[in-house]
Amino acid sequence: MGSAPAAPTLGELAARFGLELRGDAQLAIVGVCALAPGKPQHLSYCADPRLRQELARTRAAAVVVDAADAQRYGGNALIAPNPALAFARIAALFDRARTLTPGVHETALIAADATIGADCHIGPYAVIESGVRLGARCYIGPHCLLRAGASVGEDSRLEARVHLERGCRLGARAQVEPGAVIGSRGFGNVRTREGWFAAPQLGAVTVGDDVEIGANTTIDRGALEDTVIEDGVKLDNQIQIAHNCRIGAHTAIAACVGIAGSTVIGRRCLIGGAAGIGGHLTIADDVVILGRAMVTKSIPKAGVYGSGLPAQPAREWRRLVARVRRLQDFERRLEEIEKHLKLESPATGAHGEQDDL
Amino acid sequence: MGSAPAAPTLGELAARFGLELRGDAQLAIVGVCALAPGKPQHLSYCADPRLRQELARTRAAAVVVDAADAQRYGGNALIAPNPALAFARIAALFDRARTLTPGVHETALIAADATIGADCHIGPYAVIESGVRLGARCYIGPHCLLRAGASVGEDSRLEARVHLERGCRLGARAQVEPGAVIGSRGFGNVRTREGWFAAPQLGAVTVGDDVEIGANTTIDRGALEDTVIEDGVKLDNQIQIAHNCRIGAHTAIAACVGIAGSTVIGRRCLIGGAAGIGGHLTIADDVVILGRAMVTKSIPKAGVYGSGLPAQPAREWRRLVARVRRLQDFERRLEEIEKHLKLESPATGAHGEQDDL
Amino acid sequence: MGSAPAAPTLGELAARFGLELRGDAQLAIVGVCALAPGKPQHLSYCADPRLRQELARTRAAAVVVDAADAQRYGGNALIAPNPALAFARIAALFDRARTLTPGVHETALIAADATIGADCHIGPYAVIESGVRLGARCYIGPHCLLRAGASVGEDSRLEARVHLERGCRLGARAQVEPGAVIGSRGFGNVRTREGWFAAPQLGAVTVGDDVEIGANTTIDRGALEDTVIEDGVKLDNQIQIAHNCRIGAHTAIAACVGIAGSTVIGRRCLIGGAAGIGGHLTIADDVVILGRAMVTKSIPKAGVYGSGLPAQPAREWRRLVARVRRLQDFERRLEEIEKHLKLESPATGAHGEQDDL
């Protein structure tokens, strides 16, 4: 799959990516590597002050560093204001995962009225139903299913076994990992005397440009309107987004996050792994939610939010739980003492029960 | 896929669903819509008092409302005691997702001794192994796998890429979303000096009638007996149900819930998103478990249960964690003060360590 | 699929597995069963003291027990130091799930330069790309995808619809359940002024021998080096392992656990369901992490760790949350009282904010 990458010289890389070169411009780079231990003929990078000690020891032939680290480092270097970004751009030259060989596999099933853009790759056992539209240069891997009326923008990659439900739209340059389901039935059920009645889910999912959707992530279609994922959103693996949600542009969500129905998340948010966000909430732009946080109310203001009690030895944890449950008793005892000492206790109203969870 | 739905009149809908009509019986309804902003020629509904202000503004041609809202609303209306239910029933008329075109795709592989009911649809690249039994009018979507001896009741829909393991049984009118796995190996391993020995998982999964199973949900088969999902259970996406569990009839479980092995959940329970339920527990009928709750003990009584500390600004959260961890110190100081004041402290026994987590 | 198992006698089982026999050596055993209620002609076991009362009542024809229980039980018995293990070994004789019928289905697509070991089974619609190497006696189920250069050791089972990404390696005797994704893109993105830039993920996943990977579990490939799962690791369903992690040999991880990037887990650890482990952490050998624990720091010492507040009636839970949030007030009041009584308060430094979460 794909030819071996060429071996550009350090000088060519500097010119191509607009970086300052220090050292041997003729050095051929055959690949990229981690800083520790590093590999001869490979390029690495240092973007983390904690790794500076590795910089001195690396066996990499050259490194991408910022100006400050360049002064510390005596070897071949490419100097960039953002070494992680410059390195990522160079590393993309060596990324065989993005190979695209145009062509349709003979076992792919494509409806007669589907529109397939130029130079698409459609893999074995993919199924593309009636009315689907694919932009140019799409990669549709094995076992993908694009249901009737779905559309995918140009230069998108559906790696394998991706499900795109009827009428759902993916923008340009999408990156979708195996097992992702876009447009599953929203979980809308109405209680009746005889059990649950399934409320039809008649909306779809609209996904903007430059969106990444991780492996086994699920995005439900809307009940009446569409669930919306705006441009530039990055979704890791095993995320669940319920019906009618809207995820703002350039928001990144780590793995295992669950977002309940009709919640609106702002732009440029960062949501840590396994956080859970309740339904019908609004999260402002630029909010950072730390891993495993439990969000039960709207967050109207940018900032960093978290919750949860971190792990500790189980014996201590059990005592802590018991103590937390004795807090009512603590409070009573405090009041007793205050009464005894004729100190003022806060008015009961001042710490009334918080019933708005 | 499927012909466009006809456009029934408001009068026809009232008659068909037994609803009181107010306004123009001849009004043709071409589809359903959300209340805000609403669409001309479409039907909407109002079942939430918070949306009453939208009712006055909606552009929908007609709405389903209850008697009280009907008095407030001047436009065309269908009046129902449960507007959400009546609307859902009407909306189903416009739901193309449930189209069934009988026929077997030429690439579907069906074992010679499988029994396929009348008017089933079997999609491309589906695999149906030996001895499988399908009831009438089943929809088996692309890439589904029904292993040997599995069975599916009539009018069921396995949308796509559903895995039904050997000998597992789905009842009638099942709705199964893409990526669901029914009958994966229970996680039973016995520790030995050399490592883990995989205990055979010889049971299956038995699923009752009218069950919904969400996208990428997994249900393990039992070790010796079956894992059981009773009639009318509704499971959202990415739920994990371990081996030997039993989920009681009409219980609804939101996304990302995990239920450990051998736990028995009662009937008509509601379990919120991302809740976690330990193994070998018994949960009574009619229990409501709030989202993200951590259930470590059986719940013998109906009621509403929850746990967890909701998110707050990270700075405050860190202080809160530190304070909770200082509770032991608080307690000591309280006792010191009580001793000093010769007040009675609770006997140590009264607040002994809670070791039964 | 597979012939019905023979019916060994109790005497044959005792001889084959090196167990002490008590009772009727000629008794034919046609299968295995649970202790309660038990089935005639079947073998059961008792390894849990809580089930001893069932032992007296079981209808099973024979049981596997330890020496102590054998004294209590009057019926036919096989006596083993570890009854659960002995029973699991015997039960494997009756496990049809592990049937292997060599052969390649005519719809399986196998690249001309792939190397397929002796006596492999390759199911319908499986896709095996260029350069893949399969050891002898592998079972590759329907709809599996083995991308270019991947390899699988002998006697492995990829049950169905398993994704093995380019260059990823599975060892011998792997057991992989449906929907598992091995080698999805690591979630590495670099922030730029225009949005996120996807950092190429150039590593793979290396999996040792005797590893189990559950249904819909996802393991990301490394950014520059491989993500590593060592020998004997057991992973349940819906686990997420991020890029660059290393999971130590014989560690067992229950369902729904998420492990963030670059974390190293020791050997023989036990990680409970839905636990979450942060990135760039190191967990020592022999650590036990209880279900739903939130691990935010490295754990350098073996032991049992947990966290979280267990569920309680919602009314009490809401009060508990309010009380925990009033802890700052409690602390202030304690200090006030101590000041009033001229008792010593702990130095502020002693309980300074814990900012190292």
Q: Please tell me if residue B111 touches chain C, with a CB cutoff of 8 Å.
A: no
Query: What are the chain A neighbours of B210 within 8 Å (beta carbons)?
Result: 195-196
Please say whether the beta carbons of B77 and B22 come within 8 A: yes
Closest CA of chain B from A5, distance in Å = 35
Q: Which residue has the tokens 């960062």?
A: A270
Q: Find the farthest-apart pair of alpha carbons in chain A and give their distance in angstroms, rounded.
A: 88
Distance in angstroms (rounded) separating the CA atoms of residues C132 and A316:
50
- Predicted local confidence at residue A351, as pLDDT: 46
- Predicted local confidence at residue A188, as pLDDT: 97
Distance in angstroms (rounded) separating the CA atoms of residues C251 and C232:
7
Contacts for B60-68 with beta carbons within 8 Å, 24 or more apart? B60/B33, B60/B35, B61/B27, B61/B29, B62/B10, B62/B23, B62/B24, B62/B27, B62/B29, B63/B35, B64/B19, B64/B90
**pLDDT exceeding 90 applies to what percent of chain B?**
89
- Predicted local confidence at residue A261, as pLDDT: 98
Closest CA of chain B from A195, distance in Å = 6
For every residue of chain A, which 3-state class applies, written as one string?
CCCCCCCCEHHHHHHHHCCEEECCCCCECCEECCCCCCCCCEEEECCCHHHHHHHHHCCCCEEEECHHHHHHCCCEEEECCCHHHHHHHHHHHHCHHHCCCCEECCCCEECCCCEECCCCEECCCCEECCCCEECCCCEECCCCEECCCCEECCCCEECCCCEECCCCEECCCCEECCCCEEEECCCCEEEECCEEEECCCCCCEEECCCCEECCCCEEECCCCCCEEECCCCEECCCCEECCCCEECCCCEECCCCEECCCCEECCCCEECCCCEECCCCEECCCEEECCCCEECCCECCCEEEECCCCCEEHHHHHHHHHHHHCHHHHHHHHHHHHHHHCCCCCCHHHHCCCCCC
End-to-end Cα distance, chain A = 54
Between A143, A305, A318, which is nearest B353 by CB? A318
Distance in angstroms (rounded) separating the CA atoms of residues B34 and B60:
8
Please say whether the beta carbons of A146 and A127 come within 8 A: yes
Angle between helix axes C314-325 and B314-325 (nearest 10 degrees) is 100
- Predicted local confidence at residue B48, as pLDDT: 87
| Torsion of the alpha carbons at C204, C208, C211 and C216, rounded to the nearest 10 | 0
Instruction: Look up residue A349 and give its two tokens.
Output: 């109203």
Name the residue type at position A96: R
Does the pLDDT at position B106 exceed 50? yes
**pLDDT exceeding 70 applies to what percent of chain B?**
95
Angle between helix axes B314-325 and C327-340 (nearest 10 degrees) is 50
Provide the phi-psi class of C280: left if phi over 0, else alpha when psi is between -120 and 50, else beta. Answer: left
Instruction: Look up residue C127 and give its two tokens.
Output: 């896709």
Query: What are the chain C neighbours of B308 within 8 Å (beta carbons)?
Result: 308-309
- The Cα-based distances of B57 to B63, B87, B332 in angstroms read 12, 19, 61
Angle between helix axes A314-325 and B314-325 (nearest 10 degrees) is 100
Kindly give the parts of chain A with pLDDT less than 50.
Answer: 1-4, 348-356
Q: Please tell me if residue A357 touches chain B, with a CB cutoff of 8 Å.
A: yes
- The Cα-based distances of A19 to A11, A65, A66, A87, A336 in angstroms read 9, 10, 10, 11, 70
**Element counts in chain C: helices (H) and strands (E):** 6, 38
Distance in angstroms (rounded) separating the CA atoms of residues C203 and A103:
27
Radius of gyration over alpha carbons of chain B, in Å? 27
**Residue numbers of C annotated as active site:** 243
Q: Please tell me if residue B332 touches chain C, with a CB cutoff of 8 Å.
A: no
Residue B19, SS3 per DSSP? coil
Distance in angstroms (rounded) separating the CA atoms of residues A235 and A233:
7
Q: Please tell me if residue A334 touches chain C, with a CB cutoff of 8 Å.
A: yes
Cα–Cα–Cα angle for A339, A345, A349, rounded to 5 degrees: 130
Chain C contact probe: residue of A317, A343, A356 with most C CBs at under 10 A: A317
Between A274, A310, A331, which is nearest C258 by CB? A274
Distance in angstroms (rounded) separating the CA atoms of residues A50 and A44:
15
Q: Please tell me if residue C145 touches chain B, with a CB cutoff of 8 Å.
A: no
Cis peptide before C346 (omega within 30 of 0): no
Please say whether the beta carbons of B116 and B98 come within 8 A: no
Closest CA of chain A from C228, distance in Å = 15
Distance in angstroms (rounded) separating the CA atoms of residues C211 and C214:
10
Please say whether the beta carbons of B189 and B197 come within 8 A: yes
Enter the DSSP assignment of C160: S
Q: In this predicted model, which residue has the larger pLDDT, B51 or B274?
A: B274
Distance in angstroms (rounded) separating the CA atoms of residues B55 and C292:
44
Q: Please tell me if residue A355 touches chain C, with a CB cutoff of 8 Å.
A: yes
Closest CA of chain B from A134, distance in Å = 18
- Predicted local confidence at residue A352, as pLDDT: 44
Q: Please tell me if residue A265 touches chain B, with a CB cutoff of 8 Å.
A: no
- Predicted local confidence at residue A217, as pLDDT: 98
Yes or no, beta carbons of A255 and C187 under 8 Å apart: yes
Yes or no, beta carbons of A200 and B88 under 8 Å apart: yes
Chain B contact probe: residue of C317, C320, C355 with most B CBs at under 10 A: C317
From the first residue on, what is the mean pLDDT of each consecutive set of 10 residues in chain C (357 residues)? 68 97 97 95 93 92 96 94 97 90 98 98 98 98 98 98 98 98 98 95 98 98 98 98 98 98 98 98 98 98 97 97 94 91 67 47
Please tell me which chains touch B, using 3 or more CB pairs under 8 Å as the contact test.
Answer: A, C
End-to-end Cα distance, chain C = 54
Between B94, B177, B310, which is nearest A307 by CB? B310
- The Cα-based distances of B337 to A133, A319, A332, C343 in angstroms read 76, 22, 14, 8
Closest CA to A69 of A47, A94, A39, A84: A47
Query: What are the chain C neighbours of B329 within 8 Å (beta carbons)?
Result: 346, 351
Closest CA to C62 of C97, C109, C20, C92: C20
Residue C227, SS3 per DSSP? strand
**All domains of chain A, ordered by start, with CATH?**
10-97 (3.40.1390.10), 103-305 (2.160.10.10), 314-344 (no CATH)
Closest CA to A42 of A52, A50, A33: A33
Does the pLDDT at position B2 exceed 50? no
Whole-prediction pTM: 0.96
Q: In this predicted model, which residue has the larger pLDDT, C321 or B4?
A: C321
- Predicted local confidence at residue B347, as pLDDT: 56
Instruction: Look up residue A45 and give its two tokens.
Output: 């990078």
Closest CA to C337 of A345, A323, A332: A345
> Phi and psi at residue C231, in whole multiples of 5°?
-55, 140
Burial C50-81 (b: 16+ CB within 10 A, else e): ebeebbeebebbbbbbbeebbeebebbbbbbe
Q: Please tell me if residue B343 touches chain A, with a CB cutoff of 8 Å.
A: yes
Distance in angstroms (rounded) separating the CA atoms of residues A145 and A157:
13
- Predicted local confidence at residue B353, as pLDDT: 45
- pLDDT (tens digit per residue) in B58-80: 999 999 999 999 998 999 999 99
Provide the phi-psi class of C126: left if phi over 0, else alpha when psi is between -120 and 50, else beta. Answer: beta
Closest CA of chain A from B34, distance in Å = 6
Yes or no, beta carbons of C278 and A256 under 8 Å apart: no
Distance in angstroms (rounded) separating the CA atoms of residues C69 and C74:
10
Burial B288-316 (b: 16+ CB within 10 A, else e): bbbbbbbbbeebeeeeebbbbbbbbebee
Please tell me which chains touch C, using 3 or more CB pairs under 8 Å as the contact test.
Answer: A, B
- pLDDT (tens digit per residue) in A13-34: 999 999 999 999 999 999 999 9
- Predicted local confidence at residue B182, as pLDDT: 98
Sign of CA dihedral B34, B39, B45, B46: positive
Q: Can you give the length of chain C in residues?
A: 357
Sign of CA dihedral C179, C181, C184, C186: positive
Reported ipTM: the value is 0.95
Cis peptide before A37 (omega within 30 of 0): yes
Cis peptide before C37 (omega within 30 of 0): yes
- The helix (H) or strand (E) run that includes residue B153 is none
Distance in angstroms (rounded) separating the CA atoms of residues C181 and C212:
13
Distance in angstroms (rounded) separating the CA atoms of residues C114 and C100:
21
Provide the phi-psi class of B125: left if phi over 0, else alpha when psi is between -120 and 50, else beta. Answer: left
Q: Which of A243, A250, A280, A351 is catalytic?
A: A243
Please say whether the beta carbons of B290 and B272 come within 8 A: yes
Yes or no, beta carbons of B237 and A216 under 8 Å apart: no
- Tell me the pLDDT band of B349, cut-offs 50, 70 and 90: very low
